[in-house]
Amino acid sequence: MTPLLPSLAAAGLYAGAALYQALLLSRRTSPAPRLLAGLGVPALLLHLLALYQLLLGDGTLLLNFFNAASLLAAAVIALTLLACLRMPVHNLLLLLFPLGSLTSLLAVLVPAGTLQPIREAPGILAHILLSLLAYGLLTIAVLQALLLLLQNRQLKLKHPSGIIRTFPPLQTMESLLFGFLWAGWTLLSLSLLSGWLYLDDLLAQHLAHKTLLACLAWLVFAVLLGGRYRLGWRGATAIRWTLAGFLLLMLAYFGSKLVREFILHI
């Protein structure tokens, strides 16, 4: 099966779910969770099917920009749908469903360009995918932390405006933030473990500084999650630690590129 058909079907279902939700919210009516899931879950499954064919269809990994964006969108939608089982976060899908529709279409319709498929052993391919998903989900966690900061500030000023009024309560938004952090930290752990297992020589491959910064970021997120569990960390403390861990991750990626391209000239 060509990835075009499941991508078009997924985009259509995502768009239908978003229109249904927007229509009811404009009438100040809550959408039916079962109907929303009945549209969102099949869309997600079709999205994942198309992604499998786009990313790993011939045994190599084609990880261009739009494929990566589509993969990240699918991961965030999946986590949010799971969160909907326990938390009232359905309104956030109004932003995520259009993103899923757009990225699924772009991944299948926009040419891949000059990027060559990655031909490595399955363990290395798994390491690359885990790293991408970990970085992506932790990036979403940072965006969630910034939304939480904005929502908290507007509520303190007693004039929430625009889309902020449709957000779930602060406690629910905070729980979703830690859901993203747990998922991202778990994937980062698996990424580091797979790198240790399948990368032969970190120094020879000029990955030592990148690995060190990623391990420091892993430690920061571990302390944050431990502080949440043991000490009940929340609010500004959680946001500061989230931003600190994300900064280390960005340094691991962009800093390693800077060192390789401008200092080591490789």
- Stronger pLDDT, 115 or 2, i.e. the higher one: 2
- Stronger pLDDT, 151 or 207, i.e. the higher one: 151
Determine the distance from the C-alpha atom of residue 70 to the mean position of all C-alpha atoms in its chain, rounded to a whole number: 10
What are the structural domain ranges in the chain?
A: 1-118, 120-266
**What is the rounded average pLDDT of the residues 203-223?**
80
**38: which 2 tokens?**
């009945």
DSSP string, 6-29: HHHHHHHHHHHHHHHHHHHHHTT-
Does residue 265 carry a pLDDT above 60? no
pLDDT, residue 161, reads: 61
**Percent of the chain predicted with pLDDT > 90:** 29
Which phi-psi region, left, alpha or beta, contains residue 72 (left: φ > 0; alpha: ψ -120 to 50)? alpha
Residue pair 195/127 in contact by the 8 Å Cβ criterion: yes
Q: Counting Cβ atoms within 10 Å, is residue 197 exposed (0-12), middle (13-18) or buried (19+)? A: exposed
pLDDT tens, position by position, 96-125: 999 999 999 999 998 766 667 777 777 888
CA 153 to CA 101: how far, in whole Å? 32
Provide CB contacts within 8 A for 196, sequence distance 6+. Answer: none
pLDDT tens, position by position, 30-82: 778 788 888 999 999 999 999 999 888 667 788 788 888 899 899 989 988 98
Span of 54-63, 125-134, 190-199, 223-232 with lowest mean pLDDT = 54-63
> What is the number of residues in the chain?
266
